[in-house]
Structure 1
Amino acid sequence: MDYKSAARDIGKGSISPVYVCYGTESFLLREFLDFLTQKLIEPEYREFAVSKYDLAETSLDVVLDDAQTLPFMAPKKLVIASNAVFFTGAKESGKVQHQPEKLLDYIKAPSDFAVIVFVVEAEKLDERKKIVKSLKDITIPFTAMSADGLLQWVERQAGRKSFSFAEGAADQLILYAGSALQTLAAEIEKLSLYVGSGGVVSGDTVDKLVTRSTEQNVFILIDDIVRLKLNRAFTILYELLKQREEPVKLVLLIARQFRIVLQVKELSKSGLSQQQMASQLGLHPYAVKIAAEQGHKFAPDRLERILQQLAELDYKMKSGKVDKVVGLEMFLLGLAA
């Protein structure tokens, strides 16, 4: 079950007595929990009809007892249990011992007035375990979106704020802000306030308003060099230097991006999808998409030479054999050539 299907069912009033939510995309998971809370519990009851437990400190028995206790002054109750590590292969570090088989007994005759949500902050569950197999139909993954899925999410968020993006501006937002949904949501809120209801966000608006981290600036700098947008690339470089970013650090970040480009280029030969490559490299699929596009401009042997040049530049900077800023400028000019 994916979170969209689960949300649709909940919207129609078809709510499971138990959900197991896992994954690293915490923003989506929080959105899902908020949506479930809104649909299950009336606003006036939420203060005392929503219980939250940390299973690193609280026994599963307490959670199940709560779910079987009639709600106080409310028709329904929601019980949220985080750190449900017993669904994974990880060793439980907490002092509390759990008996997952009791959850299997509960599922056979669940309370009709309670919904339990188990939250697991892990990329995957241990599918060999009986508890995971038994709850497979009510397990919801919250993993990193595909590159296309992320773009669609950004455009949907804009629609909810009653504005739209000009062609290419949504992609530009992701390039500038990165793939973290929390950050993107904050930038979308800022853009919506700027253009107002019915407004259109252009690339220039994104350029003017969106906050960029050093890592994202380096990401954009390389993308501009690859696309031979030299003026903007050097503008970004000088902005970073004005912000007192250390040239040696910039060289390391540039090397990291070119290493990713080379890895993506090599992995693509194996026929892996962007999602699979992202998982293997520990990256977001959108970062893999950009790296793949950048890789089209370089042969593998040239990428290896660039990484060697960056290693030599790093050594010369640290040993004082070259002025740091001049060395970085000459590298970028050579890269563009």
Structure 2
Amino acid sequence: MDLKTASKDIQNNNPAPIYVCYGAEKYRINEFVDFAIQKLIEPEHRDFALARYDLSETPLETVLEDAEEIPFMVPRKLIIIRDSSVLAAGKDNGKIEHRAEALLRYMEEPVDYSILLFWVNAEKLDERKKVVKALKNKACLLPFQPMNADELLTWLIRHAKKQECECSKSVAEALVQAAGTTLGILSAEMDKLCLHAGRGGTLTEQDVEKLVARSTEQNVFILVEQIAAVHLEKALTIFYDLLKQREEPIKIAALIARQFRIMLQVKELAGQNYSQQQIASQLSLHPYAVKIAGEQARRFESAKLRSILAHLARLDYQMKTGAIDKVLGLEMFLLRLGA
């Protein structure tokens, strides 16, 4: 079952007896947990119908005993279980002993008045475990992996719409370029933009430029974008702004090198017919970052990217040994690149 189907079933008050949420996107897992609480448990029932457990503190058998206990004064219970060891890979260093066979028995005849929602703190489940194999057949497993570029922009547009604001794709892209791809940060920045626009308002790229503070990493990201587009004047403006913010030139050079290294890696992997998602997984990057790096890389030959990286390596050595003034060295690098 996928997330869309699971959400629809919950919306229609037809939940599965067991949900297992896992993956890198903890913000989206939290969104799903909040959605399940809102749709399945009435606000006035939550004192009796909502339970939370952490398996680092509570044995699994205790949780299942609670699930099997008939609810008091409410029609059903939602039990949210945080887990870092029972279903995840890796050694369990906790002091709590869990009997996974208890969950296997429960899965055979789950009670109809309790819903178990496991929140697994891991990117993947340990499919070697017998209990995980059983859950694949008996439960609703929901992976929450980073969204691809289009999904991320759609998510932002939908987030704005919930607050009765209009957000175009170009504005969503401007926000990602300014704030990065961390969903918690994007959500907070979108809330700020919507508050500024007001209900029924339309967000603009000027709003993003005015209201969203860019991190050093995002400034360098845009600086490299300007270099790739041969907009030298804009690239230098960003560089001088970073210096005014007292950013260390060696750090700026290292971040520029990182972005060009990503461009080269993306270009080479794409040439080997890797998909965007595969490249993101291989390089441990967000798919949106891979998309932008791929677009930037198309403007350079692989040999040129290698030459730039070699130049940056020499510049790094010269800056650290005092062979060249750090600011002057970076200025000369940018001017030569834009020539």
| TM-score bin (small chain) | over 0.9
CA distance in 2, matches of 1:166, 1:36: 29
Determine helix, strand or coil for the equivalent of 1:298: coil
User: When the two structures are superposed, what TM-score results if normalisation uses the length of structure 1?
Assistant: 0.97
2:263 — aligned with what?
261
1:97 — aligned with what?
97
Aligned-pair CA distance for 1:57: 1.9
Are the aligned partners of 2:153 and 2:169 in contact in 1 as well (CA < 8 Å)?
Answer: no
2:182 — aligned with what?
180
2:227 — aligned with what?
225
Which of 75-84 and 187-196 deviates more? 75-84
Are the aligned partners of 1:166 and 1:203 in contact in 2 as well (CA < 8 Å)?
Answer: no
Aligned-pair CA distance for 1:94: 0.8
- Match for 1:126: what amino acid? D
CA distance in 2, matches of 1:267, 1:225: 22
- Match for 2:107: what amino acid? I
**What is the root-mean-square deviation in Å for CA atoms of aligned residues?**
1.3
Aligned-pair CA distance for 1:223: 0.6
User: Match for 2:171 among 154, 169, 173?
Assistant: 169
CA distance in 2, matches of 1:156, 1:92: 39
Aligned-pair CA distance for 1:303: 0.7
1:301 — aligned with what?
303
- Match for 1:92: what amino acid? D
The answer as to 2:32 corresponding to 1:32 is yes
1:210 — aligned with what?
212
Gaps of 5+ in 1: none
Quickly say closer, same or farther: Cα 1:4–1:167, change in 2 above 3 A: closer
Identity rate, percent: 53
1:127 — aligned with what?
127
User: When the two structures are superposed, what TM-score results if normalisation uses the length of structure 2?
Assistant: 0.96
Q: How many residues align?
A: 337
Quickly say closer, same or farther: Cα 1:129–1:167, change in 2 above 3 A: closer
Determine helix, strand or coil for the equivalent of 2:119: strand
CA distance in 1, matches of 2:169, 2:152: 16
Aligned-pair CA distance for 1:127: 2.2
| C-alpha distance after superposition, 1:237-275 (max 9, x if no partner) | 111111111000111111111111111011111211111
Aligned-pair CA distance for 1:167: 5.3
CA distance in 2, matches of 1:214, 1:178: 11
Quickly say closer, same or farther: Cα 1:144–1:302, change in 2 above 3 A: same
Q: Please give the residue correspondences for 1:277-292 in structure 2 after superposition, counting only pairs within 5 Å.
A: 277-292=279-294
Determine helix, strand or coil for the equivalent of 2:268: helix
The answer as to 2:167 corresponding to 1:159 is no
The answer as to 2:127 corresponding to 1:139 is no
Are the aligned partners of 2:88 and 2:121 in contact in 1 as well (CA < 8 Å)?
Answer: no
Aligned-pair CA distance for 1:151: 1.0
1:16 — aligned with what?
16
| C-alpha distance after superposition, 1:111-136 (max 9, x if no partner) | 22111111112111122332222222
CA distance in 2, matches of 1:84, 1:117: 14
CA distance in 2, matches of 1:16, 1:165: 34
The answer as to 2:107 corresponding to 1:114 is no
Determine helix, strand or coil for the equivalent of 2:247: coil
Quickly say closer, same or farther: Cα 1:109–1:257, change in 2 above 3 A: same
Aligned-pair CA distance for 1:141: 0.5
Quickly say closer, same or farther: Cα 1:86–1:222, change in 2 above 3 A: same
1:148 — aligned with what?
150
Determine helix, strand or coil for the equivalent of 1:57: coil
Are the aligned partners of 2:231 and 2:338 in contact in 1 as well (CA < 8 Å)?
Answer: no
Dislocated runs of 4+, deviation >3 Å: none
1:252 — aligned with what?
254
- Match for 1:247: what amino acid? P
| C-alpha distance after superposition, 1:80-115 (max 9, x if no partner) | 111242223311111112121211111121122111
Quickly say closer, same or farther: Cα 1:84–1:167, change in 2 above 3 A: closer
Are the aligned partners of 2:163 and 2:194 in contact in 1 as well (CA < 8 Å)?
Answer: yes
Are the aligned partners of 1:56 and 1:93 in contact in 2 as well (CA < 8 Å)?
Answer: no
2:314 — aligned with what?
312
